[in-house]
Structure 1
């Protein structure tokens, strides 16, 4: 691991980070100055967009002055362009040009309700066009008017497909950044909710936003997040998974160090607890940092259901994780080396089933595990109409055929199926991937050293988990190091009125999230009246 870290150590780049306008457009050879002459400005813009077919321009008249509306047709809604920009400008040629020598007067007269920005340089003008603005230029004006009239069609808000729940909000993030920010703002109506914008990717210039609660978030963690984002030096970032690889503390760990979700209520809850959310334009998945090991066993539905039921389900999740890790390897170890650990009747049953199997236990279980992984991947990649059918029917048919052909035993099919089903209990998909990978390592260790190999692998895994850090915070906190105050929401969930503090490992500026809360009870007056009636 250390050798790989040395070979692929992340290098800091003084020129990386948020690309400034000057760096971006000087690299492309774009002149910066916005000219007083409309003709020269149009010529410069045409030289920049001469190869693209979606560049469009419409000539207009503002009094006796020449004007032009420039835009990229693929970045805005043309119906809105016509109704909000072109229709008001059709009467502009009838007015005296002296009244609109200032671009701000033109905006007030024709676009009072449209979101706008002023472009005082050609760099700014090009940037606004790339972001879906319609740019209005008028001859003899020293700046252009960029109008944000709305983007193209986008996917409607639907229920998340990867983290479904029974009770709770059903809306999910989409690929539009502003929509995602609005879903969080809808839940947290607080002026201390801050969204800071960055541009990442030297070629894609993708918009990235971090969200946090000012006055609650730890400023040191916030500074570290900003620093890592500013060090991102990539040509393009298309998903938050790309961002995760650049900001994670240990890129060679099987375990995910950054929590991701497409649920707005989950992001809102984490922001309120003092964590930082990372949004990226073009993806519905949002990152949460810092994230610890126990975060991947929690679901937003845990806080919408009774706490007794939630606590029981959480215990099931931790048990399922251990079953996914160790169940197949325990079968290999016991059937190969430790027959004495099985009851005699069970041992006779297992060995009788394996009597006609030509392979040793490790080859037998690897054959079934790989078959199941192939079926799982095929079910994901197949068209949705047949993918689920392929997974279910394929597993039944192949499993039954393998048993009848004498390639595997019946008990092995049960073990592989149960451990595979247990891997789906985790609320976060990429955490279950880690368990699936480590399971193969344990199988090989069990085939080599038996139970000693399994315990040795688990010890190494725990040592690795203890050594991990996520933005300076131990990955296993609040278990190791143990923090008593945080145990109200780890393995079991205490009632909401009893969970009064934010996680102590975040070292929040406002550690108390609920003051003067107590167990709910009937009013004292009703209690006294009830006693009198009983007497």
Structure 2
């Protein structure tokens, strides 16, 4: 123990720090001429562990020296190093025990965690159904049950000056690229952030600054997806209190793969992946193509289809791009309402609202009937993207294509597609090309 600081000074310092905390427990244990003092936060500490580890042994062990030896032998016990560590331990669910002029820090965190639930965001028809929880230990348990390898390593650190959130890095040391691992550690150790409460906050903090239209770090709630990426030499970042984990480095193609693809017949899996890329193309280009064909390049379509579109827009009083933007924004309202409304009334309210708005706007001549079909197709095709972060990005990007089509017509769409490809080619995820086809085991860990 540091001789320059007495136990009385530490006790007084802690009393000052927690002077306004109603959940601070300052417990004095006395037996004959023996006394020990226990300080902890009862709101985050397990009272059963405190009773079992401290109180019962104190009255059963005859001498103070033997009691101190018993405390020092506990696997969760640490000796005093400095007063800051004492404060951090108490705030993290530990107890400070003052005995015989020494200070011991023992972890007695009350781990209030949710039970393991089925995956709700990334649901699958076949395969495992469990999802990550808000507990780091539970999430590590689910990963290690699936990945029984001695090369699987874990490292933890606290992130956030206010929250001190426990963040754990999981990787296979035989397959991992050491440069990527060191880059991630450097970013996390130098991160200046007040709080981390979700994986999305950490993803934004460690991603490159500047304009980002698509995510470069994969977020998932599925343990089987995390294990699959560990076997490819990637890093899984688990954040305490967050039911989603980060996977890095990631590529563009990871956001369009589902765990169902690996259990289907090969040609069925390829077909499902192609359906998703077709959905991506439809979501981005269908509204823009409608604007280009109706306002700039109607001669490209067959005469019958051109007349059909013109007939459906005969009563519409404004240009096609206004019609498209109006219906797309209404659809965004319905999607957001379905997410925010209570589950009991959400599906009913949005379904009825969509039917009423679609029927009424068509009969009133505000939009063409073909526009209703097109918007429905765009909404459905957007939902085939299995990762929500990419789905949200695509929802935004389609407006860029509508703007280009409104200004330049079909040429603007072609330029937009070329620009999107060039943008994706220029992206990096922790030094790895974003459009790279990751081979199994990341080329055996970067050739070691």
> When the two structures are superposed, what TM-score results if normalisation uses the length of structure 1?
0.79
Give the drift of 1:397.
Answer: 1.4
- 1:257 corresponds to 2:216: yes
Give the corresponding residue for 1:245.
Answer: 204
Give the corresponding residue for 1:340.
Answer: 299
Give the drift of 1:35.
Answer: 4.8
Describe the superposition over 1:227-279 as per-residue Cα deviations: whole angstroms up to 9, x where unpaired: 11122111222222222122213541211111111111111111111001112
Give the drift of 1:64.
Answer: 2.5
Give the drift of 1:141.
Answer: 3.1
Give the corresponding residue for 2:64.
Answer: 97
| Structure 1 residues 378 and 505, CA gap change in structure 2 (3 angstroms) | farther
- Counterpart Cα distance in 2 of 1:130 and 1:347: 69
Maintained 8 Å contact 1:369/1:416: yes
- Counterpart Cα distance in 2 of 1:431 and 1:50: 47
Give the corresponding residue for 1:141.
Answer: 101
Give the corresponding residue for 1:459.
Answer: 418
- 1:404 corresponds to 2:360: no
Aligned length: 448
Matches within 5 A, 1:43-54: 43-54=12-23
Give the corresponding residue for 1:16.
Answer: none
Give the drift of 1:507.
Answer: 1.9
- 1:328 corresponds to 2:293: no
- Counterpart Cα distance in 1 of 2:422 and 2:47: 58
Name structure 2 gaps, 5 residues minimum.
Answer: none
- Counterpart Cα distance in 2 of 1:390 and 1:118: 59
The alignment partner of 1:143 has SS state of strand
The alignment partner of 2:96 has SS state of strand
Give the corresponding residue for 1:66.
Answer: 35
The alignment partner of 2:125 has SS state of coil
Describe the superposition over 1:95-144 as per-residue Cα deviations: whole angstroms up to 9, x where unpaired: 133534xx233455xxx6x6433334333222221111233221x33331
Q: Alpha carbon RMSD of aligned pairs, Å? A: 2.2
| Structure 1 residues 251 and 186, CA gap change in structure 2 (3 angstroms) | farther
Maintained 8 Å contact 2:94/2:105: no
- 1:182 corresponds to 2:141: yes
Maintained 8 Å contact 1:245/1:251: no
Give the corresponding residue for 2:50.
Answer: 81
User: Residue 250 of structure 2: which of 285, 288, 291 is its match?
Assistant: 291
- 1:124 corresponds to 2:89: no
> When the two structures are superposed, what TM-score results if normalisation uses the length of structure 2?
0.94
Name structure 1 gaps, 5 residues minimum.
Answer: 1-31, 487-500, 510-535
- Counterpart Cα distance in 2 of 1:218 and 1:463: 26
Give the drift of 1:438.
Answer: 1.2
The alignment partner of 1:136 has SS state of strand
Flag the structure with more relative contact order, 1 or 2, with Cα contacts below 8 A and sequence separation at least 6. Answer: 2
- Counterpart Cα distance in 2 of 1:34 and 1:326: 71
Matches within 5 A, 1:202-351: 202-249=161-208, 251-351=210-310
- Counterpart Cα distance in 1 of 2:113 and 2:4: 33
Worse-superposed segment, 80-89 or 453-462: 80-89
Give the drift of 1:161.
Answer: 2.1
Give the drift of 1:364.
Answer: 0.7
- Counterpart Cα distance in 2 of 1:340 and 1:47: 80
| Structure 1 residues 506 and 404, CA gap change in structure 2 (3 angstroms) | farther
User: Residue 443 of structure 2: which of 482, 485, 504 is its match?
Assistant: 504
- 1:420 corresponds to 2:382: no
The alignment partner of 1:408 has SS state of coil
Worse-superposed segment, 118-127 or 292-301: 118-127
Give the drift of 1:90.
Answer: 3.5
- Counterpart Cα distance in 1 of 2:383 and 2:4: 57
The alignment partner of 1:464 has SS state of helix
Maintained 8 Å contact 2:23/2:42: yes
Give the corresponding residue for 1:191.
Answer: 150
